[in-house]
A and B are shown apart, each in its own frame.
Chain A
Amino acid sequence: MQTLPSLPHYLLRNAELHTNRVAMRHKDLGIWREWTWASVCAEVQAFAIGLLELGLKPGDKVAIIGANRPKLYWSFSAIQSIGGIPVPMYSDAVADEMVYVLEHAGVRFAICQDQEQIDKVLSVIEQLPLLETLLYDEPRGLRDYDPERILSVDEVQKRGRQAVERNSNKPVEWRMGIDELVSDELCVMLYTSGTTGRPKGVMLSHNNLIVTSINANAFDTLDHTEETIAYLPLAWVGDHVFSYGQSLTAGYCVCCPESMEAITECRREIAPTYFFAPPRVFETLLTTITVAMEDASRPKRAMFNHFIEVAKRHGEAVLNGEGVPPMARLQYAIGEWCVYGPLKNRLGMSNVRVAYTAGEAIGPDIFRFYRSLGINLKQLYGQTEASVYITAQPDGQIDADTVGTPSIDVELQIAENGEVLYRSPGVFLGYYQNDEATASTKTPEGWVHTGDAGFIDDNGHLRIIDRAKDVGKLNDGSLFAPKYIENKLKFFSNVKEVVAFGDQRDFVTAFVNIDLTAVSNWAERNNIVYASYQELAGHPQVYDMIEKHIEQVNVDLAAEPRVAGACIKRFLILHKELDADDGELTRTQKVRRKFINERYEPLIEAMYSDKETQFVSTTVVFEDGRQGTIEADVRIMTLPHIAPLKMAS
């Protein structure tokens, strides 16, 4: 494959090749403004020369903090074109979290979106002796700040343009500088969000991003006609590849929404052809649709329900281009006209050719819902260390449980302990100033440990089951992957949280948290009276309902040979909701297994005994910080044997 040496080279190429094509849009003051590739190139040139005038040198690190705005995207190219290293950061992080990255990366300049971000950086600036200059995009509220040290991006671009006026050789020098960039050198540092321990700075080279971007474009035949909307955090590798790397290499247009709140409206106006969202976005959209339809008039609701049923039966087959009976095809076509089309328009997905979801497991029902509407939603599996792509689902080979086949140029390998390893041109250079972590993640041969356990199924598709360190074994030797089981159960709307146990035990047990909103709604409709969460959680009918869900999950599990041994045998519904304030969940709502193991030891032991109930007393922290105790006799339920159910399925 013939590639250019660096990302700024692609910008120059696009300015020549797609001169008058729109490269970027931004909705501002209610109007979509546009920049062609030529004008983006001119903006970047002014910005880059302005940065040179400010004294930015090759190798300098520049933090970029803010939302998806054109000037922040231009800053990537501008910094890279003069050999600097952009370090995009999560703009919702508090100052204390930011200071670690700013200090660790040794940032010399920081480009901030607005006053909020400038204030955050200024509040910790004493700890950052290397940080010299702050730049901002939105001037609001920054009038009285020190103009020597805190400048607007406009001002920097103006200085760049003035420098060109004084010395018309500057643009030529700038281009010569770009030609000196080397493809294997560091081009961006992306800090992993750091759910475990401190964030690590993942160093990616031009080549990493260029090759993976070109491969990804080829995989889904994306070209310069695509439209995307950029709304995910700049610091996240996904956005860096989708909205920057792939846009530069393919030459497609990236649209920046007016604000995060207005994203749905903006997406509707743009109607992207290529779209990415984490599962929760799809979940939220589906909830909005469901709620809206419940409020709709009876005929509308009937029509909606009817055609959604049609879509459920035939939609995926139509999308996959499989044979569908003519009558069904006709029904689906009418549905497209009456329901699916307008609905996709509402969602801003009318023109979507390829949509991806990744990051977490997506509920199969949600996944299929979107696909049945004719939206080509697929799953991919990736990591910052891989420049995103490890596996992705090819068109027509879609399964809610898999994450697809290895992407172009990616080699996969499953280690002895079930961990997924990969090797690809996108593999990162290393962690910044952390050779120890680099050495433990990346082997000398270039294989990278993902930390995830998985297996390759009979069709050659990868299935991820859990974090490798959480995967254990039952005493009879069968594989126990807690998250895999938990996720299956959590896809039921009545279930909010699940914690499965089973490592080095005889069988699998589970704690269940009911979802108060869903279950209280259900209770109301079924005339079940309750006074508190605790009472509802202990209600026999709620237990029966959860039991049915678990039976269903057991049937699913029993059907998969690799996890068949790990069906849930006993469960209980916890008397309280697991809460981050009590330390049971992380702030990102992930279960802290070790803590729960210690805190609820009596309950766990009771599940592995013959007891029917177990008394438990738990201290809780209320929202105002006061402490209290909740006491309860928690019922433990044993499920009937699984084998007959398997027959039934």
Chain B
Amino acid sequence: MTTQAEMMSIEGRNDMPADTEPYAQPAVRTEELLSVEHVSLSFGGVKAVTDISFNIMKGEVRAIIGPNGAGKTSMLNVINGFYHPQEGVINFKGKPRRRMKPYEAAASGIARTFQNVALFKGMSTLDNVMSGRSLKMHRGFFWQILHVGPARAEEIRHRRRVEEIIDFLEIAHIRKQSVGKLPYGLQKRVELGRAMAMEPELLLLDEPMAGMNLEEKEDMSRFIIDLNTEFGTTIALIEHDMGVVMDLADRVVVLDYGKKIADGTPQEVQANQNVIDAYLGVAH
């Protein structure tokens, strides 16, 4: 893939390397990126997640849905390394893991956004997105302070990547505004930008469209689709808006009371009687 980084040389020169790649066909997804096997998680006597197994293929958009309290966010927290399941195994990139700290998960290529926006409110959009790069910065504290030589070169490199993300998410006009003052829909976008800045292999989105109006939802869907197709990022998302899930997701896993009740393509899930009973048919 010819990335935008290669096309837009930052020195302001005009020699744009041409697109030499043939146009990519939709890939057949055979490689498993992550699998969850028989995972159970409980808090004291409360069973949040019971014996759940599913997998996420490389390059797909995987949705986790279910009524309130079904254990979706708990499941995301388990993948993310924030909770440690009492039972079960998680394989990421073919390697099993049982206990992992969130920063290790981040370093291994898992990024996430949160249900309620968790940005640095006093910082600008640019700095927030830039903070997503901190794991990739190698120069030490003193180098950074001096801002010379390698530290400077490193910052320029990262800044370019961040600018590409800003361009991608169309948030250039708020680049220098502090995020606390931005409308909610834009904050969500900045948060996605920060997660993208980590260049994750697996991106976990916890209700990326909660509280958005229709237009904001359409924009966000567009970004998720483009992120998936242009950058090849694998995405696992929790979402309540069924229309969005049906349009975006390649496969859907349905949870109810901590148990998996269905798993398959959106069409299959939609037709599944258990799902209809638990979620689609009655809840409202």
Partner of B8 from A28, A43, A262 at Cβ < 8 Å:
A28
Whether B19 and A34, one on each chain, are in contact in the complex, defined by CB atoms closer than 8 angstroms, is no
* A30-B163, A31-B10, A140-B230 given; 10 more Cβ-contact pairs under 8 Å: A30-B175, A31-B163, A39-B14, A140-B4, A140-B168, A140-B226, A143-B23, A152-B19, A259-B172, A262-B173
Cα(A158)–Cα(B22), bound, Å: 15
Whether B164 and A139, one on each chain, are in contact in the complex, defined by CB atoms closer than 8 angstroms, is no
A255-272 Cβ-contact flags toward B at 8 Å (1 or 0)? 000110110010000000
Chain A residues 5-45 with CB under 8 Å of chain B are: 28-35, 39, 43
Most buried by B among A30, A141, A155: A30
Q: Does B104 contact A (CB under 8 A)?
A: no
Cα(A154)–Cα(B15), bound, Å: 10
Cα(A33)–Cα(B19), bound, Å: 21
Q: Does A623 contact B (CB under 8 A)?
A: no
Which residue of chain A is the closest to B229 with respect to CB atoms?
A: A143
Q: Does B154 contact A (CB under 8 A)?
A: no
Partner of A143 from B7, B168, B230 at Cβ < 8 Å:
B230
Q: Does B152 contact A (CB under 8 A)?
A: no
Which residue of chain A is the closest to B22 with respect to CB atoms?
A: A147
Which residue of chain A is the closest to B1 with respect to CB atoms?
A: A143
Chain A residues 143-159 with CB under 8 Å of chain B are: 143-145, 147, 152, 154-155, 158
Cα(A219)–Cα(B143), bound, Å: 56
Chain B, interface size category, equals: 20 to 34
A134-175 Cβ-contact flags toward B at 8 Å (1 or 0)? 000001110111010000101100100000000000000000
B24-37 Cβ-contact flags toward A at 8 Å (1 or 0)? 11100000000000
Whether A144 and B26, one on each chain, are in contact in the complex, defined by CB atoms closer than 8 angstroms, is yes
Cα(A257)–Cα(B4), bound, Å: 19
Given A140-B226, A143-B24, A152-B19: A29 touches B170 (CB 8 Å cut-off): no
Whether A29 and B164, one on each chain, are in contact in the complex, defined by CB atoms closer than 8 angstroms, is yes
Interface positions of A (Cβ within 8 A of B): 28-35, 39, 43, 139-141, 143-145, 147, 152, 154-155, 158, 258-259, 261-262, 265
Whether B14 and A35, one on each chain, are in contact in the complex, defined by CB atoms closer than 8 angstroms, is yes
Given A29-B160, A154-B19, A155-B19: A261 touches B12 (CB 8 Å cut-off): no
Cα(A259)–Cα(B166), bound, Å: 12
Whether A31 and B172, one on each chain, are in contact in the complex, defined by CB atoms closer than 8 angstroms, is no
Given A30-B175, A261-B172: A141 touches B14 (CB 8 Å cut-off): no
Residues of B within 8 Å of A154, CB to CB, are 7, 16, 18-19
Partner of A258 from B7, B25, B168, B172 at Cβ < 8 Å:
B172
Given A144-B23, A154-B18, A158-B18: A29 touches B230 (CB 8 Å cut-off): no
Whether A31 and B12, one on each chain, are in contact in the complex, defined by CB atoms closer than 8 angstroms, is yes
Cα(A351)–Cα(B226), bound, Å: 40
Q: How far is the CB of A444 from chain B (nearest CB, A)?
A: 49
Most buried by A among B16, B24, B173, B176: B173
Q: Does B167 contact A (CB under 8 A)?
A: yes
Which residue of chain A is the closest to B9 with respect to CB atoms?
A: A33
Whether B173 and A259, one on each chain, are in contact in the complex, defined by CB atoms closer than 8 angstroms, is yes
Which residue of chain A is the closest to B2 with respect to CB atoms?
A: A139
Residues of A within 8 Å of B23, CB to CB, are 143-145, 147
Residues of B within 8 Å of A143, CB to CB, are 23-24, 229-230
Whether B12 and A34, one on each chain, are in contact in the complex, defined by CB atoms closer than 8 angstroms, is yes
Which residue of chain B is the closest to A264 with respect to CB atoms?
A: B173
Which residue of chain B is the closest to A259 with respect to CB atoms?
A: B172
Chain B residues 156-191 with CB under 8 Å of chain A are: 159-160, 163-164, 166-168, 170, 172-173, 175-176
Q: How far is the CB of B58 from chain A (nearest CB, A)?
A: 18
Whether B167 and A29, one on each chain, are in contact in the complex, defined by CB atoms closer than 8 angstroms, is yes
Q: How far is the CB of A338 from chain B (nearest CB, A)?
A: 25
Q: How far is the CB of A39 from chain B (nearest CB, A)?
A: 6
Please list the 4 inter-chain residue pairs (A to B) with the smallest Cβ-Cβ separation, ordered nearest first: A261-B173, A29-B163, A262-B173, A158-B18
Residues of A within 8 Å of B172, CB to CB, are 30, 258-259, 261-262
Residues of A within 8 Å of B16, CB to CB, are 154
Given A30-B172, A30-B175: A141 touches B229 (CB 8 Å cut-off): yes
